[in-house]
Amino acid sequence: MEILGLLDTLESIVLDGTKIPFTKKLIVDEEKVLNIIDKVRLVVQGGGGFAKEALASRAVKSETRESKEDANFSATAELEGKTREEAKAVEVLQQAYQMAKEIREGADKYADEILANLEATSTRILRTIKAGRDRLDKTAPAGENK
């Protein structure tokens, strides 16, 4: 499945990230992570295609079966069979959409967690840099310019 490959790529980006000494934090390439997240969203949004293919496959099987049974059933029985098949198709489609929605929500939640961690790490790094620069400003002789 394509989404698993994207998740593997995201995992490798995280594993290859630069570790921040004395913490459990690391630095990752924000652009790469965001590109992977965008690709995951596209794959998840395209998930409706799977449901449509499944329904088309069922429709072909149903039509084949109906053509074989056509001689044995009356027009009323055929109508009931089609109605049952249509109801089943609608149920499968609803399940597929619900599954796609859950996957999309899970991917969004995961992406939000990753971005929140990235934001927190970036904020801490910026604070450290600012503190270092402030310390350098305080220790620099008064006559020197930056």
The pLDDT tens digits for 31-86 are 888 888 888 888 777 764 554 454 455 555 555 555 555 555 555 555 566 677 77
Region 139-145 average pLDDT: 68
Q: Who's near 84: CB < 8 A, 6+ residues apart? A: none
78 alpha carbon, distance to own chain's centre: 42
Tokens of 10: 């995201």
The pLDDT of residue 122 is above 90: yes
Among 5-14, 48-57, 71-80, 114-123, top mean pLDDT goes to: 114-123
Region 77-100 average pLDDT: 78
Cβ atoms within 10 Å, residue 19: 10
From 8-12, 72-76, 112-116, 138-142, the region with the lowest mean pLDDT: 72-76
Question: DSSP state, 1?
Answer: -
Q: The whole model's pTM is what?
A: 0.36
